[in-house]
């Protein structure tokens, strides 16, 4: 019954979000330079005495913290569904500083070779979860159910299965020091060193997840019951101030790895 309710909630949110997105075209037509600031850190709306295996930290990243209205509404919606979670956000420069301060020179050098923001974010999200634990969510994704009810206190990890099967990395919930994520890090670093992949998906993204993690041996749920992408926002609103646009375009005009 709960699964059915979640699917209905998912569909309802999708409809409302797409209406909001249409209205945001009008807003940004009238106010083309207007932007909204995402906080680098915010405390939980209210605290809980629970002691879950996965820390109550919600992680996100973007190339800038100055965003369009639909991206900001998407952020506010996620905060509404994660009231007991601390929120931490990093821009491009913050990601690099975090890795340089907390990981080896070898890992930082490998990260610094990545020339496409999405590839950098792929590696950063694994490194930050491996060190602190918590929940990572892409900036254009939104929860379809309260996060407390998605990530149970007893969970040590939770991955999502895509519509056509296989794991994705736009939502990851994990304890720190996860041996599966350690393997993912190892493969990404090797891919950077060898530089044989020509696609971000296989170099640093879900392709690595699916080559390392057996979805039948870890805790997974369908994306339908957890989160969706691209309902409140889209490529236009997300990359309005980034000429090179989405990673799918960027990888056509530049190498993923700088030699």
Q: What is the pLDDT of residues 200-226, one digit of tens each?
A: 999 999 999 999 999 999 999 999 999
pLDDT 10s digits, 24-64 = 999 999 999 999 999 999 999 888 778 899 999 999 999 99
Is 248's pLDDT higher than 80?
no
**Assigned token pair, 172:** 């990851």
| Residue 37, C-beta contacts closer than 8 angstroms, at least 6 positions apart | 65, 66, 67
Domains of the chain by range and CATH? Answer: 2-253 (3.90.550)
Mean pLDDT on 68-74: 98
| pLDDT for the residue 217 | 94
Quick one: pLDDT band at residue 250, thresholds 50, 70, 90? low
Q: Under a CB-based contact definition with an 8 Å cutoff, are residues 116 and 254 in contact?
A: yes
The rounded distance, in Å, linking the Cα atoms of 48 and 51 is: 8
What local confidence, expressed as pLDDT, does residue 174 receive? 98
Confidence (pLDDT) at 127 = 98
Interval 179-187 mean pLDDT = 97
Contact between 54 and 21 under an 8 Å Cβ cutoff? The reply is no
| Maximum distance among all Cα pairs of the chain, rounded to whole angstroms | 53
pLDDT value at position 60? 98
pLDDT at 253: 58
pTM over 0.85: yes
**pLDDT the model gives residue 120:** 96
* pLDDT (tens digit per residue) in 113-126: 999 999 999 999 99
């Amino acid at each position: 019954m709960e699964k059915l309710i979640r699917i209905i909630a998912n569909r309802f949110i999708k409809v409302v979000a797409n209406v909001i997105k249409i209205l945001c075209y009008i807003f940004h037509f009238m106010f083309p330079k207007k932007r909204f600031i995402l906080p680098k850190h915010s405390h939980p709306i209210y605290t809980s005495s629970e002691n879950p295996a996965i820390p109550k930290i919600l992680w996100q990243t973007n190339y800038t913290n100055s965003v369009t209205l639909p991206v900001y509404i998407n952020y506010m919606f996620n905060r509404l569904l994660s009231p007991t979670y601390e929120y931490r956000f990093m821009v491009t420069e913050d990601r690099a500083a975090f890795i340089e301060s907390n990981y080896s020179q070898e890992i930082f050098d490998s990260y610094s070779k990545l020339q496409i923001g999405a590839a950098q974010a792929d590696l950063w999200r694994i490194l930050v979860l491996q060190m602190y634990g918590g929940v990572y969510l892409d900036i254009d994704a939104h929860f379809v159910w309260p996060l407390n009810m998605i990530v149970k206190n007893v969970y040590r990890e939770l991955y999502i299965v895509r519509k056509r099967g296989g794991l994705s990395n736009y939502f990851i919930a994990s304890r720190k020091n996860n041996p599966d994520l350690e393997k993912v890090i190892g493969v990404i670093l090797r891919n950077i060193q060898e530089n044989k992949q020509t696609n971000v998906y296989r170099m640093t993204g879900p392709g690595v997840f699916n080559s390392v993690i057996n979805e039948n041996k870890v805790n997974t749920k369908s994306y339908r019951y957890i989160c969706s992408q691209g309902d409140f926002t889209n490529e236009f609103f997300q990359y309005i101030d980034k000429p090179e646009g989405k990673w799918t375009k960027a990888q056509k005009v530049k190498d993923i790895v700088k030699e």
